[in-house]
Structure 1
Amino acid sequence: MTYLSISDITFSWPDGTPVFEGLGVAVGSGHIGLVGSNGAGKSTLLRLIAGELTPARGWVTASGRVGYLRQDLGLAPGQRVDAVLGIAGIRKALHRIESGSGDERDFDIVGNVWDVEERAVALLGRLGLHYLADSAEQLDRTLETLSGGETVLLGVVAQLLAEPEVLLLDEPTNNLDQHARERLYEVLAQFSGTVLTVSHDRELLERTDTIAELRRGELRLFGRNFSEYERIIEAEQHTARAAIRDARGDVRKQAKELVEARIKLDRRQRYGKKMYENKREPKIVMGARKRAAEVSAGKLRNSHIEKLDTAKEQLQQAEELLRDDREIRVELPGTRLYPGQDVIDLDDVRLACGPTVSLLVTGPERIALTGRNGVGKTTLLRRIAQAPPKVPWRMLPQRLDIFDERRTVFENVAATAPQASAEQIRAQLARFLFRGADADVGAAALSGGERLRAALAMLLLADPAPRLLLLDEPTNNLDLPSLEHLTQALAGFEGALLVVSHDPRFLDEIGVTRHLELTPDGLVE
């Protein structure tokens, strides 16, 4: 049995921003899906477990070797495949030994992994990288010809070759086509150790044994898969909403009773004052009665104040259980297209990566573009942008690198809509959940989900309004609330969409009307 134990982890960033305070959890063998909003600390937790970050207090214990697949592999095009796999040194030593020129150091380097090349080729084949699995010589290739998805798979193979007992994966299905995802699912299902996966891929999360949610610096485990997690959360939210209604009613009731008590006490005080002035009773009796009335009034007033404070505290506790379910609601009439209106017209255009394509898009079509990793989907989007399209258009790249990082959210959006007034821009930004001072945050400081919302605002509020959106893997690295925000924003878009995505549920939710697959022979309807 493998295991992973996190004990009393406390960690803050160098600027003093706290992330975890006394975090602890223990998990055994199986596949755990780690979910939480962008900025909750999911990747930070993986880095702490992997030893890349050092906690101020606490420790991590694992049953054996820990493998860690980062979200951003940071690979350079000139790197060789065997170097990425971490076996370049072993291969060189192995080849020297086989040629008869090896020495004792080479035997130490090889150790007991004489079959490392065969294992690497076999794993590459299992994950669908067949052209790299043709022979051991393919391990000498460099990364120029690999797509983003193929590079991710290469990173997975590198971790599996090290034979870890605990495997940490940060968004492992980013950029993977459906075929590659299925291969990865199969490989992970056969892994006998502990897998902790940060992912927004709902199909992958459905295959987990446990869902772990990171929220407000605390980690909570939910049995079974993502559907069960969603069911539990929805039931809790239903209860929380009912508790808020009851608590608000109690606050109103206690506030009303406090007002009524004050009115009653004021009447008593006026009556007592009148009696004292008329001196209908001895002075000593009047004084005693006044002191008793003041004590009684104080107790009554304090009782109602305490009840109101308690009601307010219970309301606050109920509201803390309610999750942030803010919605993006935008109307974008300027993006409207009509049936039959020409949008894209490519005729036998040869892409740099090989295929020759023809594509005609008319009216407000919503098109999903799929295809194997490396076939040229991103290349096709860039070629469409160069054509150019027959209507105003905008493109959302995978990396969301469309910002001037030195500017604020407001300034970035204002640069794309020079004709709009500051009031108009701020009103529209509020609909993208950038309200008040949130619009004046620097682009460089945005979390992943905030970056997506800001990018959508830049695209959809641009002048002229885009009537075609080219979206390249828009769901990469999104937490589930941000994915919902993306879907909501696109619901208000009335133009044409061409979306590269391998998320069937997302494509269904945005109302895709055509499915195109890019193959080495061109586009297939």
Structure 2
Amino acid sequence: MSASISLTNLAWSTPDGRTLFSGLTLHFGRGRTGLVGRNGIGKTTLLKLIAGGLVPQTGEVSIHGRLAMLDQTVQAAADAAVADLFGVADGLALLRRAEAGLLVADDQVGIDWTLETRIARALRRFGLQLALDAPLTNLSGGQLTRAKLAALAFAKPDFALLDEPTNNLDRDGRAAVMAMLAEWQGGAIIVSHDRDLLETMDTIVELTSRGATSYGGNWSSYRARKAIELASARQQLADAERRVGALAHAAQRGQERKARKDRVGRNKGRRGDIPAIALGLRKAGSENTAGEAARLAERRRQQASEAVDAARQRIEILQPLAVALPSTGLSATKTVLEIDALSGGYQIGCPIVENFTLKLVGPERVAIGGPNGSGKTTLLSLITGGLPPWSGRVRIMTGFAMLDQQVSLLDRSVSIRDNFRRINPGCDENACRAALARFMFRADAALQIVSGLSGGQALRAGLACVLGGPAPPALLILDEPTNHLDIDAIEAVEAGLRGYDGALLVVSHDPAFLATIGITRWVQLQVPPRA
């Protein structure tokens, strides 16, 4: 039987009772499937259910073939080495004993003498030259992701489950992922917001609060279909709203006619034109008829209102997030940031950033680029005070905000709403709720505790707290801002940042994002030489 994954009537709810899936049925065969959907909708959870890391509450996961999964985790155990990613510790130990002459000839029958060569080849495919005993804690996030991808390709599973595989990867690393998937002979399910990667998919599966829908073709084909669906949903909403209006107008006319008729009847009764008993019967009949008409009108109104609600919910799913930012008031001639001969790192004698100089004036938009391991995140830590410099000087001469990949400016123990009020102390409750609603944290969603959010939701909450206030900072420093956002949110943030009139300092490997937000200057870092 060929490799396949089947999900039947799958159900899963979060610990707080929020339903992610109910009656979800999907089938995956050979080919590359891009799994997309908004942050918090359950994409990573679905991969974990398939991989066996979670057990479905109801339903069944049926798998034919071997699986291997790449998760989003960029932390590594303190004692883990490169060899541990490949699961070959026993084979390497046997090789070492043979090389030391500790095995007799019969014991050497099961030795894989090509093991180290094949692992080195897999690592080189992703641009790495690493010793197998190299500690994983010495690797940057991008290098660790590359090493994990090399181990996955080395294992040659029937199905690859990849959760945001191009997060933390530089241009070469992204190209290596695409090359690997282009040659992939089995099945692959890829959760990704990388639009270039999604263009190479055979199928797009979208998860929404209503379930899952499969679209044949790549990202462009999917977007074209979605545009048609959005136009249809908007038309349905307009039709439903017109129907509600027409029913309300008809009900008003009916009430006015009844009032006129009742008034005529009362006048005749007072003049004695109609006997009292006939008048009473007419009144009772009128009331019965009116009651029946009212009940019918109410049923129609309820049906029309439900149609409006359904159309609005469909648009909510189809329509992207919209972000509008107030002005920072930054002058075009004001010096925002000065960095002079900055050097620093984590281990004395091994600088990661050395003699770095930069000046930002006015609303410049500067991208910090460079390969994995070149020190981009370290540089931002030195600039913002997270890491003390060894030498040199940093001067930030305006208000600023830093959004790192962990969104550490948020207090994870309290709600989004409480974080917003802390970061924007001048905002009242109405202004706070309106700002959070623009970032799709409406009503009770604004009361979610940050520790319970997905990575993408947390970053969206951080953006809401920093950019949603009445006076955004004049300098915004972003470290891989698109890593955990869904594509609709990325496009909305792009739209917002295009209208942002402050200065931007951005570390990102997403070329589409950088092009869209109008980067004006590139600063390229190089991997420092290692002793």
Aligned residue number for residue 412 of structure 1:
419
Letter in 2 for 1:506: F
Give the partner amino acid of 1:44.
T
C-alpha change, 1:94 and 1:244, in structure 2 (3 Å) is same
Q: CA RMSD, aligned part only?
A: 3.2
Residues 161, 190 of structure 2: 8 Å contact kept:
yes
Residue aligned with 1:180, SS:
helix
Query: How far off its partner does 1:414 sit?
Result: 4.2
Could you tell me whether the CA contact under 8 Å between 2:417 and 2:433 is conserved in 1? yes
The residue aligned with 2:513 is 506
Which residue is 1:376 aligned to?
Answer: 375
What corresponds to 2:174 in structure 1?
A: 181
Structure 1 residue corresponding to 2:242, chosen from 243, 246, 249: 249
Deviation at 1:41, TM superposition (A): 0.6
In 2, the alpha carbon distance for the partners of 1:304 and 1:418 equals 49
Q: Give per-residue Cα distances to partners, 1:407-454, cap 9 Å, x unaligned.
A: 333443444455666676666555555556555443323343442233
The 1:520/1:355 distance shift into structure 2, 3 A limit, reads farther
1:206 to 169, 178, 199: 199
User: 1:135 — aligned with what?
Assistant: none
Out of 350-359 and 20-29, give the one that drifted further. 350-359
Evaluate the alpha carbon distance shift between residue 104 and residue 27 of structure 1 in structure 2; reply closer, same or farther with a 3 A threshold.
farther
- Change in Cα spacing, 1:105 to 1:505, as seen in structure 2 (3 Å) is farther
| 3-state DSSP of counterpart to 1:493 | coil
- Alpha-carbon distance change, 104 to 272 in structure 1, aligned in 2, over 3 angstroms: farther
Alignment gaps of 5+ in structure 1: 133-137
Of 315-324 and 353-362, the range deviating more from structure 2:
353-362
2:293 and 2:414 map into 1 onto residues whose CA distance is 57
In 2, Cα distance between equivalents of 1:222 and 1:462: 38
- Give the whole-Å Cα distance in 2 for the aligned partners of 1:310 and 1:461: 37
Quick one: distance in 1 between partners of 2:298 and 2:470?
55
Unaligned 5+ residue runs, structure 2?
346-350, 386-392
Cα gap change, 1:408 to 1:23, in 2 (>3 Å): closer
Shift of 1:376: 1.4
Q: 1:256 to 1:106 in 2, by over 3 A?
A: farther
- Counterpart residue number, 2:221: 228
Q: Is the 8 A contact 1:453 1:486 kept in 2?
A: no
* Deviation of 1:347 (Å): 3.4
Report the alpha carbon displacement of residue 151 of structure 1 after superposing the two structures with TM.
Answer: 0.3
Residue 35 of structure 1: CA displacement?
0.4
Alignment TM-score, normalising by the size of structure 1: 0.88
Shift of residue 219 of structure 1?
1.1
Identity over aligned residues, as a percent?
36
Letter in 1 for 2:190: T
Q: From the superposition, tell whether residues 317 and 424 of structure 1 become closer, same or farther in structure 2 (CA, over 3 Å).
A: closer
Q: What SS does structure 1 have at the residue aligned with 2:366?
A: strand
More displaced stretch, 506-515 vs 305-314: 305-314
1:22 deviates by 1.3
Aligned with residue 396 of structure 1, among 392, 400, 403: 403
The 1:469/1:298 distance shift into structure 2, 3 A limit, reads closer
What is the TM-score normalised by the length of structure 2? 0.87
Deviations 1:275-317 (A, max 9, x none): 5666656777667655654554444444433333332232222
Map Cα deviations across residues 394-417 of structure 1 (whole Å, 9 max, x no partner): 322122122222333344344445
Shift of 1:75: 1.3
C-alpha distance in structure 2 between counterparts of 1:487 and 1:397, whole Å: 17
Q: 2:132 is paired with a residue of what secondary structure? A: helix
Q: How does 1:8-87 map to 2 (within 5 A)?
A: 8-87=9-88
- Give the residue type in structure 1 aligned to 2:246: K
Find the residue that maps to 2:24 and give its secondary structure: strand
One-letter code of the match for 1:21?
A: S
Matches of 2:11 and 2:430, distance apart in 1: 43
Tell me which residue corresponds to 2:209.
216
1:495 deviates by 2.5
Q: Which residue of 1 aligns with 2:479?
A: 472
Matched residues in 2 for 1:12 and 1:436: separation?
20
